[in-house]
Amino acid sequence: MKAYILMSTEASELWSVAEAALRIEGVGTADAVTGQFDAIALVDFSKMDDLGKIIEKIQRLKGVIRTQSLIAIPPPLRE
């Protein structure tokens, strides 16, 4: 499964947060972005407990103020 983790960061920390997020197992990509959030990470996980652990690690990164998680909905299987 996949999820997007949106991160609000301290102004001076957005690049370091994105770089640190990349070192977390399960994070495939992490980028600084414009808009309401400062950084975004795309994560892959197999069960919800794994996603929870990834989110906890991201929330503990220096400079992270808050996160919002968006779980991707897989396309329906067609016969």
Amino acid identity of residue 4, one-letter, is: Y
Q: Which domain holds residue 7?
A: 2-71
Please check the confidence at residue 65 and state whether its pLDDT lies above 80. yes
Mean pLDDT of 15-42: 97
Q: Is residue 53 part of a domain?
A: yes
CATH of the domain at 21: 3.30.70.920
Q: Is residue 30 part of a domain?
A: yes
**pLDDT value, residue 76:** 83
**pLDDT value, residue 74:** 84
Using a 10 angstrom Cβ sphere, with 0-12 exposed, 13-18 middle and 19 or more buried, the burial of residue 61 is buried
The number of folded domains in the chain is 1
